[in-house]
Amino acid sequence: MKVIEHIDKSSNPLFSFEIVPPPRGRTIEAVIEVVNTLQPYNPSWVDVTAHPAGAYYNEKNDGSIERKIYKKRPGTIGICGVIQNRFRIDTVTHLLTQGFTKEETEDALIELNYLGIHNVLALRGDGLNYNKQYDKVKHRNHYAIDLVDQINDVKKGIYLDEINQSIPMDFCVGVAGYPEKHFEAPNLKLDIQRLKNKVDAGSDYIVTQMFFDNQKYFDFVKSCREADITCPIVPGIKVIKNLKQFRSVPSHFYVDFPDEFVEEAHENPDHVEEIGVRWAIKQGEELLNANVPSLHFYVMNDAKSVSQVVKKLF
């Protein structure tokens, strides 16, 4: 079932969660354990992140420097296939513009269709630490809206090369929203206009970046509605587990923590996980009381804290 169908058909609160593929060389067991932990609470869908290739450098025995390209966390499509077909939970595959050609994106969509996966999240993705070379034949999407356009072409049966008797493929398309604005946007107003462009291009729903102050989400939704964005806007929640995350989360995701949350955690450093769970429950209760379409949890690969929150809320 598509994400938008889950939202439209449900009369009860929904939740979903997001995980990352294991690092290269690891097994899928950690991912399976996360899904096993949260499956009893009936998640409506599971997002699996995608990662572009990066570059690293090795010094060889002769003193020269060797540059290698690698993908640290491959396997997004395979993991989605395992989860959806083993656990019967719908999956959302993250597709990126960064580091992927249009041809690679089209191939990915075909593979997803073969697997019966019909939900994708269209993202630009993080910047690369190297410039991937593109030949004259292959080309890339530069922004998320370009990716949305390509997906909608495939939904109409329009492929990069003219194909006789081509068949449309049906996908539900999600895009990202930023209650505290995307860090590259000059202001929130322009950021919301760009979001509207993605929705007008054919996106079905929006899932937000994590936030820790619900008022920022409510203000964001209000601004989106005033800009004539009418699709569902799913709030994203992250459960904080340790003091280090009060430094790492803002630096990686460009979000702020409320003073009350920061002060309580730093005054009780041995109980940060408990405080984080309570804060997420408080957030979730207020959001559900405001009739949000669903709650989306950024689990990554640690479900213990999230399971405590979900158990309390659902």
Single-letter code of the amino acid located at 267: E
Instruction: Give me the DSSP letters along 30-99.
Output: HHHHHHHHHGGG--SEEEE-----EEEEEE-TTS-EEEEEE-SS--HHHHHHHHHHHH--EEEEEEESTT
Give 139 or 152, the one with higher predicted confidence.
Answer: 152
pLDDT at 64: 46
- HSE at residue 272, side-chain half, CA atoms within 13 A, is 15
Given CATH 3.20.20.220, say whether it is the number of domain 3-313. yes
If you search the block for the tokens 């959302």, which residue do you land on? 92
Please compute the mean of the pLDDT values over residues 33-55 and round it to a whole number: 88
Residue 155, classified by CB atoms within 10 Å of its CB into exposed (0-12), middle (13-18) or buried (19+), is: middle
Q: What would the mean pLDDT of 231-239 be, rounded to a whole number? A: 98
Please state, in angstroms and rounded to a whole number, the distance separating the CA atoms of residues 98 and 105.
11
Exposure letters 44-61 (e unless 16+ CB within 10 A, then b)? bbbbbbbbbbeeeeeeee
- Domain parsing of the chain, residue ranges: 3-313
Q: Which tens digit of pLDDT belongs to each residue from 263-303?
A: 999 999 999 999 999 999 999 999 999 999 999 999 987 79
d(CA 96, CA 100): 7
C-alpha distance from residue 60 to each of 55, 70, 172 (Å) = 16, 18, 47
For CA atoms 85, 81, 2, 286, give the dihedral sign. Answer: positive
Evaluated on CA atoms 117, 122, 128, 134, the torsion sign reads: positive
First-to-final CA distance of the chain: 21
Antiparallel, parallel or unpaired: β 65-70 and 54-59: antiparallel
Q: Quick one: tokens of 192?
A: 């919301």
Tell me the pLDDT band of 26, cut-offs 50, 70 and 90: confident
pLDDT digit string, tens, across residues 47-78:
999 977 554 445 555 544 544 544 556 789 99
- 161-202 tens-digit pLDDT: 887 778 999 999 999 999 999 999 999 999 999 999 999 999
Question: What sign results for the dihedral spanned by CA atoms 202, 77, 302, 307?
Answer: positive
- Digit-coded pLDDT (tens) for 198-224: 999 999 999 999 999 999 999 999 999
Dihedral angle over CA of 282, 284, 286, 292, nearest 10: 170
Higher-confidence residue: 30 or 73?
A: 30
What pLDDT score does 69 carry?
Answer: 47
pLDDT digits 0-9 by tens, 116-145: 999 999 999 865 544 555 555 568 899 999
